[in-house]
Structure 1
Amino acid sequence: MVTVVLPDTWVYALRLPHDPRAARVARMTVRAALAGHGMHEVVDVVEMLTSELVTNAYLHTRGPASLRLTALSDGRLRVGVWDSHPHIPPPFDKAPPVAPVSPAPLNADGGRGLHLVQECADSWGGWALGDDVLGRGAGKLLWFEVRTG
């Protein structure tokens, strides 16, 4: 009998169109991938934070976005969301530790997403990606990590 040993590292990537349904597709993808890898304890947090970053990509850009889930060998899960806009919003524009982002007023329609990432993720950050070969801005990558074990 052959024993199959599953790797402890893996990567999933998903290209998302500029579509208001992209956050829902990203949530479904996160839920399926993490459940498939037995990471039930972090599904809700990762799903929520991913939804926030993908929603921001949709609201603040006109182009597509990409989602990347990476299980790292030391028990961390990294989630990255790329979009075509080069601006890195606070607090992602500074290396942790930084002062907490103030929560949005109770009657505000938005403004809670990055505060949630800062409060719920173990680490987070962002990178501007410079210019592509045609001299156009290549956008940015915002990421967060959570411990899975």
Structure 2
Amino acid sequence: MVTVALPDTWAYALRLPYDPRAARVARTTVRAALKGHGMVEVLDAVELLTSELVTNAYLYAKGPASLRLTALGEGRLRVGVWDSHPCIPAPFARPPGDRVPPAPAGDAGGRGLFLVQELADSYGGWSLKDGVLDRGAGKLLWFEVGGKR
């Protein structure tokens, strides 16, 4: 009998409609993909951070979003969320090491992106251009977790 080892690099992409259930669909997809690839050690953090980014895309972009999970090898995972809103929020818009303070206790929001800076090993964002009329094509926010340091 031949044993086949699964590759440690892979990618999944998911197009998410503008729908309040998109974050739940993204969490379910993340959970299934990471369990299927044996990456349970990063599952809770990735599920939470993905949910935060997809929720922000729904709240601010007012259009569809895309989710991409990419295993980079050696247990590292990158998660990217694209949406059509051009603004890159803090902490993604700040230089590495420039920290965003936590939201005040009474505020209804403002904790999700703080969680990214606390739980992700690295993160960033890119403003995208459409190249034709230069109206902008939104942004891509990403974070990475796991692997050897």
Normalising to structure 1: TM-score of the pair?
A: 0.94
After superposition, residues 1-149 of structure 1 pair within 5 angstroms as 1-98=1-98, 100-148=99-147
Structure 1 runs of 4+ with >4 Å offset: none
- Greater Cα shift, 132-141 or 50-59: 132-141
CA contact (8 A) 2:39 2:75 kept: no
Normalising to structure 2: TM-score of the pair?
A: 0.94
- Greater Cα shift, 59-68 or 125-134: 125-134
Q: How far apart, in 2, do the equivalents of 1:46 and 1:4 lie?
A: 27
Q: How far apart, in 2, do the equivalents of 1:35 and 1:75 lie?
A: 13
Tell me which amino acid in the other structure corresponds to 2:146: R
Identity %: 75
Question: Per-residue CA shift, 1:88-115, capped at 9, x if unaligned?
Answer: 01110133121x2111111211110010
In structure 2, runs of 5+ residues without a counterpart are: none
- Greater Cα shift, 54-63 or 133-142: 133-142
Deviation at 1:74, TM superposition (A): 3.5
Give the number of aligned pairs. Answer: 148
Deviation at 1:148, TM superposition (A): 4.2
Q: How far apart, in 2, do the equivalents of 1:145 and 1:23 lie?
A: 18
Q: How far apart, in 1, do the equivalents of 2:104 and 2:94 lie?
A: 23
Q: How far apart, in 2, do the equivalents of 1:142 and 1:76 lie?
A: 17
In structure 1, runs of 5+ residues without a counterpart are: none
Deviation at 1:136, TM superposition (A): 3.0
Question: Per-residue CA shift, 1:8-30, capped at 9, x if unaligned?
Answer: 10000000001100000000000
Question: Per-residue CA shift, 1:61-99, capped at 9, x if unaligned?
Answer: 11100000000024310000000011101110133121x
Q: How far apart, in 1, do the equivalents of 2:46 and 2:124 lie?
A: 15
CA contact (8 A) 1:80 1:143 kept: yes
Query: Please, what is the CA RMSD of the aligned residues?
Result: 1.3
